Structure 1
Amino acid sequence: MCIFFHVIFFDKMVKLLQSLPPEYVTMHLVNKIRNNPIIRSANGGYSWRLKIKQIGDDYCFVNGWNNVVKDIQLGFGDFLLFKLVDQSTFRMSIYSPDGCEKILQPKTDQNGCEKILTTNILHDDDDDPSFVSTFTKSHLKRLRFTKEFEEAVGIDGERTMTVKNLDGEKWVMDLKLDKSFKTKRYLLSTGWCNFWRENYLSEGDELLFKYIRREDTLLLAKVTKKNITKRRDKGCERD
């Protein structure tokens, strides 16, 4: 079920947090605070990863709410409407005091693509192998490695692999041998579906993965979102 709630933005000099309506908290948050929820703007291609923290009797967005305020240039009397689209993602629409929805300037790079998101975790090992993959419908259930990447990493058997996202959060996935093609390849299966859904990957996104040898971890190092109008595919089946 989709849950709606709203707040009124009263002051430009907003605090570094935003409290959630008590009725919403009572129904949906008590004893089940979501870890690092994402707020995505209804237009413009913006997204922020924050935290929900209990402060006294209030539950508030913290650790980044000030960036939301700055990025969308909220003003006195602006009206925010939130929609809970899944367990950890809110869709936010912004309205001016006269009730008209605000259209944000698209967050794009010089090539007209949605702005590149890069990891805040820096790795300087030139020896770490990487590969680029464009997200398509074939990626809904699995991520297949290139032969060159497998050889560079030295993958020689089925096991589990830890995958990090842009924020350094970790998922443990099954690494399996795919024998359905003439050329046998390894792929990530169980756990991959949750990864792309929770990181809001969609068709057309260009993904740069890098294997960090000293951590034995696959890092999603960069995402270039090339199709900001296409909605995320919801047809994810259990692995």
Structure 2
Amino acid sequence: MNGRRPAKTSSSDEPLEFFKVYLPSFSSHQLLIPLDFVKHFKGVVPKDAVLKDTTGRSWPIRIAEVGNKLFMKSGWRDFVIDHSLDFADLLIFRYNTDSVFLVKVFGKNGCRKELTSRINRPVAVMKNEELADEVNETEQNQRRPVRACKRKFSELNIRRMENHVSQRDSQFKTKPEFVGETVRKCSSETYAMPKNPHFVSSISKYRMRTMYIPTPFLKTNRIKLNPDEEMIVRDQNGRTWPTQIKETKDGRFFLSSGWIEFRKKNLRLGNQCVFEFVLGEGNTCSETIARVLPRGLKIEKNHFVVKA
């Protein structure tokens, strides 16, 4: 693979296309480019490319080779977060000769997904004084059997289906159709709240060893957590810490092993932190993205849905 631009990607004048079904466990941090699609480049693949969605917004990415496979890596995670990709969302990639991938995103309902504003979305907020009683509760875990749920389709079958590469011509809108704008810059006045389910926690002395997840937040969003399973906590720079989900006798969930390491590297006493839950099939969650809010930021009351 080298950085030269391919003069011609196909013997046909039809655009090169492929689709991917988004599976968080495989594609949340990098995206595999189908081998049959890569063959059209005849060994000349750009290292740097751009993803452009139907609103006209662009995301620079880096294409890297791992073994004998090519992945969209650096920059892909930003695209995932900004589009709030969910399990089984369908993405159609159309490539042009300027190292640009035009991307359409469809939800499980079959309709195209659009960027929507992250501002003024509901957020659950935990206050220090409301958390104080939690530390007095025992953190002895009560193991409960995990119920097996029937999957409508397996991830393996979806991955096999993804191998199909389409060169069929289709109309692709490039004219901006802004539904809302995702604001990424943080300041003391504004902050872009995530689109995915999330809550805000104030880091107090009670949060030093464990991190409780508000029960009303879980119930409101119908999020399912499995005790004793791993929860990946990812910081705003993409670094990850494995933690363990624990459950108290009265049914409350908290993050245990690994939380201290994450807190030491990222949080200070008094910080406010947004925890965004990345949901998989059946509203299960095995990853949360943690972002520290700017100091002095005032969150409007209409963001408060649950006070745990």
Give the greater-gyration-radius structure (CA). 2
Could you tell me the TM-score, scaled by structure 1's length?
A: 0.41
Could you tell me the TM-score, scaled by structure 2's length?
A: 0.33
Normalized per residue, the structure richer in helix is 2
Normalized per residue, the structure richer in strand is 1
Larger RCO, structures 1/2 (Cα 8 Å, 6+ apart): 2
